[in-house]
């Protein structure tokens, strides 16, 4: 099992990808990202405020694209067409940067992915030369379809975006991992450090999160916890866990050489 | 493309065009190129990307792309997101 985490031909050290939304301010965003050790950060593409003062701080100053790999997303898009337009704008904005996160949502309540639109958008984006990391359902068949379309990473949800419910269906995540040869990154649903560790122990190649860090009481501390959890989970996966048994009758200490049992209590 | 309207306007009264930028109407007394429009919106120097009627206007073409009456423009930036 390789130690390298490679996406679209580029190797990364950190297997934790961090979203940059919902923080108090850019200072906190930067502090959390730094504490997480993440090298890839997701960003959203939105209309600029017209008439806003020119000196307004920008995310690109807080997190210089020279230091981090930007992953522009299509959050809020409900059709393949809107997602494709958004990422064309992102590529123009980021001087030809072509590594993107595709997500096409099905409805505003669950934010569950719309897979037919996701597949259509992935096809078009790959045709236009984008390197597509794709948020998707935990369906191994459609994960394979996305791989066959030419995506560079498969990113199934573990539970709904922003829910913090953790890895609800580890068996399906496992099926996705088995179905594709691409990096599999759990995207959405992680609530706390143990969730990230579980994802990595399952054999995921990485974890992408935003709310779990940003909505923690102490986001910077949680970012650090997530870094450690992802590392611990990866190490445990590589180490290979012991098999589960209801009981073993095999104590850890030697059975031989115990002192003589007390006579008074002996049967 | 409504040529008649443009022709009449240029003959009978000073040309006034309207463009929609990020969903809001802006009236311009004459057609501007995208770079001039960005300057008028006080966005010069900001890191932005522009889409006009659904098509990207590359930075290299900002100075040579005229906006026309009825154009719909989207001007975007990168913001925090997950």
pLDDT at B40 over 80: yes
Clarify whether A101 is annotated catalytic.
yes
pLDDT at A191 over 50: yes
Q: Touching check for B35 and chain A: CB below 8 Å?
A: no
Q: Touching check for B76 and chain A: CB below 8 Å?
A: yes
Among the listed ranges A10-24, A51-65, A197-211, B52-66, which one has the minimum average pLDDT value?
Answer: A51-65
Nearest to A45 among B22, B58, B76 (CB): B76
What's the pLDDT tens digit per position in B54-78? Answer: 999 999 999 999 999 999 999 999 9
Q: Do B78 and A90 touch (CB under 8 A)?
A: yes
Per residue, the 3-state secondary structure of A4-52, as one string, reads: CEEECCEEECCCEEEECCCCCCHHHHHHHHHHHCCCEEEEEEEECCCCC
d(CA B39, CA A133): 35
Shortest distance between the Cα of A123 and any Cα of chain B, in A, equals 19
- Is the pLDDT higher at A265 or at B10? A265
Q: Do A47 and B45 touch (CB under 8 A)?
A: no
pLDDT at A266 over 90: no
What residues form DSSP beta bridges with B73?
Answer: B21, B52
What's the pLDDT tens digit per position in A215-247? Answer: 999 999 999 999 999 999 999 999 999 999 898
Q: Are the beta carbons of A38 and A14 closer than 8 angstroms?
A: yes
Residues of A within 8 A of B60 (CB-CB) are none
What's the pLDDT tens digit per position in A10-37? Answer: 999 999 999 999 999 999 999 999 999 9
Query: How confident is the model at residue A3, as a pLDDT?
Result: 75
Structure tokens at A47: 């209309």
Query: How confident is the model at residue A258, as a pLDDT?
Result: 92
Total count of residues recorded for chain A? 267
Average of per-residue pLDDT across B2-17: 57
Q: Please tell me the pTM assigned to this model.
A: 0.90
Search chain B and give the residue with CA nearest A211.
B82
pLDDT at A164 over 60: yes
Nearest to B76 among A26, A48, A161 (CB): A48
Query: How confident is the model at residue A264, as a pLDDT?
Result: 75
Average of per-residue pLDDT across A37-45: 97
What percentage of chain A has pLDDT greater than the value 90?
88
Query: How confident is the model at residue A228, as a pLDDT?
Result: 98
Residues of B within 8 A of A45 (CB-CB) are 49, 76-79
Q: Do A22 and B78 touch (CB under 8 A)?
A: no
Contacts 24+ apart (CB under 8 A), B21-24: B21/A50, B21/B73, B21/B74, B21/B75, B22/A47, B22/A48, B22/A50, B22/B73, B22/B74, B22/B75, B23/A47, B24/A50
Search chain A and give the residue with CA nearest B76.
A47
- Return the half-sphere exposure (C-beta side, CA atoms, 13 A cut-off) of residue B11: 6
Structure tokens at B16: 């006034």
Residues 6+ apart with CB under 8 A from A204: A173, A177, A184, A185, A186
Q: Touching check for B74 and chain A: CB below 8 Å?
A: yes
Q: Do A50 and B79 touch (CB under 8 A)?
A: no
Query: Is the sign of the CA dihedral A9, A11, A15, A19 positive or negative?
Result: negative
Q: Do A42 and B81 touch (CB under 8 A)?
A: yes
ipTM above 0.90 for this complex:
no
DSSP characters for A103-150? Answer: --BS-TTT--B-HHHHHHHHHHHHHTT-EEEEEE-S-HHHHHHHHHHT
Query: How confident is the model at residue A1, as a pLDDT?
Result: 45
What's the pLDDT tens digit per position in A100-152? Answer: 999 999 999 999 999 999 999 999 999 999 999 999 999 999 999 999 999 99
Q: Touching check for A105 and chain B: CB below 8 Å?
A: no
């Amino acid at each position: 099992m390789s130690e390298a985490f490679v996406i679209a031909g580029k190797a990364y050290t950190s297997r934790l990808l961090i979203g940059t939304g919902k923080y108090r301010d850019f200072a906190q965003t930067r502090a959390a990202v730094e504490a997480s050790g993440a090298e890839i950060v997701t960003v959203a593409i939105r209309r600029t405020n017209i008439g806003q003062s020119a000196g307004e701080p920008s995310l690109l100053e807080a997190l210089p694209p020279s230091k981090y790999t930007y992953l522009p997303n299509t959050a809020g898009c409900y059709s393949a067409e809107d997602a494709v337009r958004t990422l064309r704008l992102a590529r123009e904005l980021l001087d030809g940067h072509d590594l993107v996160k595709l997500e096409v949502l099905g409805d505003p309540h669950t934010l569950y992915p719309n897979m037919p639109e996701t597949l259509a958008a992935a096809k078009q984006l790959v045709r236009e030369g984008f390197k597509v990391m794709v948020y998707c359902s935990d369906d191994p068949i459609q994960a394979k379809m996305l791989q066959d379309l030419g995506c560079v990473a498969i990113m199934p949800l573990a539970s709904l975006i922003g829910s913090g419910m953790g890895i609800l269906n580890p068996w399906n995540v496992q099926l996705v991992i088995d179905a594709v040869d691409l990096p599999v990154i759990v995207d959405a649903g992680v609530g706390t450090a143990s969730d990230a560790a579980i994802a990595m122990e399952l054999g995921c190649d990485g974890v992408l999160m935003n709310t779990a860090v940003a909505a923690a009481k102490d986001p910077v501390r949680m970012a650090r916890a997530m870094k450690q959890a992802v590392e611990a989970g990866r190490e445990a996966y590589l180490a290979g866990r012991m098999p589960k048994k209801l009981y073993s009758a095999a104590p850890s200490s030697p059975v031989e050489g115990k002192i003589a049992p007390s006579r008074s209590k002996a049967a | 493309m409504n040529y008649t309207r443009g022709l009449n306007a240029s003959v009978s009264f000073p040309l006034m065009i309207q463009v929609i930028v990020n969903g809001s109407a802006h009236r311009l007394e004459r057609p501007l190129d995208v770079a001039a429009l960005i300057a008028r919106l006080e966005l010069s120097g900001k890191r932005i990307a522009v889409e006009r009627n659904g098509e990207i206007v590359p930075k290299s073409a900002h100075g040579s792309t005229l906006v026309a009456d009825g154009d719909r423009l989207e001007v975007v930036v990168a913001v925090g997101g997950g």
